[in-house]
């Protein structure tokens, strides 16, 4: 069952087209990544899903309904990209206030607030005000506010922005746990590592238009095994442009994206002939980061736009 569906949606702001003819669907009980560079149209798409703004063309449906009513809003959690807390209100009090807005009785709201503050390691800050908290702490408080009513669908716009690695892992664990409980999570990001670790399905938008979509496994399979992971010691002069399109050198290994016509074994032969000491050689599917770069730059391995 599809919980969210966009059909041929277009949104304009005067002469600027923010989203053009966009279609995708989100399956119930999955984590869906809405990807793209800054300004691609991700936030505008999310705002149409939660009915902050309406499409100029096309249809948006949530849980089978084309209009997000007040009643339906009770089943949706939304963490906007623009964060905001009441600066003079204590953390616990404002989380209870947000829960009350979702028709949660005060006693039950306090129970949920205490539970979530403990889970996100914020209990000692319950009686503090937002200016007393770091940006990362405020981010976690706003995340709690978006899910305090236990919604069926959670829409998170750049949820990991501003978080350190420890809190990124903490929040990832919460999101994965929500999925295990049958919740549907949509989050926008340009951090491919999180997407690769968490998402079932993705949609990549660039210049207001969808350029890639599908299950993460299918997307990676579509690009084939054209990436070599090479851990070696020595110079990289053997990596000629006739073999590779892109070479990413990391501290412990290299990620080499091959040209379509290149033979991976030729990379190994040239490395050995050049006197390199090879510790690891593996032909793998490209990382989502490589796929993202290729789609956003609009260049295939022969310099032509790749169509998906």
Residue whose C-alpha is closest to residue 55's, from 17, 92, 26: 17
Q: Are residues 159 and 241 in the same domain?
A: no
Whether residues 240 and 97 fall in one domain? no
User: CATH number for the domain including 268?
Assistant: 3.30.70
Q: Do 116 and 238 belong to one domain?
A: no
Cα–Cα distance for residue pair 167/121, rounded to 1 Å: 10
| The pLDDT of residue 305 is above 70 | no
Examine the domain organization and report whether 262 and 176 are in the same domain.
no
Does residue 205 fall inside a structural domain?
yes
Check residues 260 and 212 and name the one with the higher pLDDT.
212
Q: Is 138 helix (H, G, I), strand (E, B) or coil?
A: helix
Domain shared by 200 and 65, yes or no: yes
145, 105: one domain: yes
Distance separating the N- and C-terminal Cα atoms of the chain: 24
Tell whether the model's pLDDT for residue 307 goes beyond 80.
no
pLDDT score of 298: 60
Q: How do residues 263-294 score in pLDDT, each as one tens digit?
A: 889 889 888 988 888 999 998 887 888 888 87
Give the pLDDT score at 306: 38
Rounded distance, CA 88 to CA 136, Å? 18
Give the model's pLDDT for residue 300.
42
Q: Does some domain include residue 268?
A: yes
Structural domain of 73: 2-216
Q: Are residues 131 and 251 in the same domain?
A: no
Coil, strand or helix at 115:
helix
Q: Give the model's pLDDT for residue 6.
A: 96
The answer on 211 and 81 residing in a single domain is yes
Q: What is the pTM of this model?
A: 0.81
Which of 88-97, 233-242, 264-273, 281-290 holds the top average pLDDT? 88-97
* Number of structural domains the chain divides into: 2
């Amino acid at each position: 069952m599809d919980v969210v569906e966009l059909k041929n949606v277009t949104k304009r702001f005067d002469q600027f087209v923010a989203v053009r003819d966009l279609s995708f669907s989100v399956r119930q009980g999955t984590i869906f990544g809405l990807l793209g560079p800054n300004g691609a149209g991700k936030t505008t798409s999310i705002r149409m899903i939660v009915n902050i703004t309406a499409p100029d063309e096309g249809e948006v449906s949530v849980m089978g309904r084309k209009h997000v009513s007040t009643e339906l809003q009770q089943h949706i959690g939304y963490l906007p990209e623009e964060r905001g807390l009441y600066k003079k209100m204590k953390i616990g009090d404002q989380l209870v206030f947000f829960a009350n807005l979702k028709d949660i009785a005060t006693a039950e709201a306090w129970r949920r607030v205490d539970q979530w503050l403990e889970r996100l390691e914020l209990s000692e800050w319950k009686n503090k005000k937002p200016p007393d908290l770091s940006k990362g702490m405020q981010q976690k408080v706003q995340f709690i506010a978006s899910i305090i009513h236990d919604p069926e669908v959670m829409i998170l716009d750049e949820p990991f922005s501003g978080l350190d690695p420890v809190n990124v892992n903490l929040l990832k664990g919460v999101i994965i746990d929500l999925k295990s409980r049958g919740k549907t999570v949509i989050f926008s990001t340009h951090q491919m590592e999180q997407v690769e670790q968490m998402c079932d399905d993705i949609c990549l938008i660039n210049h207001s238009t969808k350029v890639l979509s599908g299950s993460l496994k299918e997307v990676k399979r579509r690009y084939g095994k054209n990436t070599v992971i090479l851990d070696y010691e020595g110079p990289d002069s053997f990596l000629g442009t006739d073999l590779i399109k892109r070479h990413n050198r990391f501290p412990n290994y290299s990620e080499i994206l091959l040209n379509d016509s290149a033979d991976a074994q030729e990379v190994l032969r040239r490395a050995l002939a050049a006197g390199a000491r090879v510790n690891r050689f593996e032909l793998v599917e490209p990382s989502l980061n490589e796929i993202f770069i290729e789609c956003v730059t609009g260049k295939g391995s022969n310099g032509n736009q790749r169509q998906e």
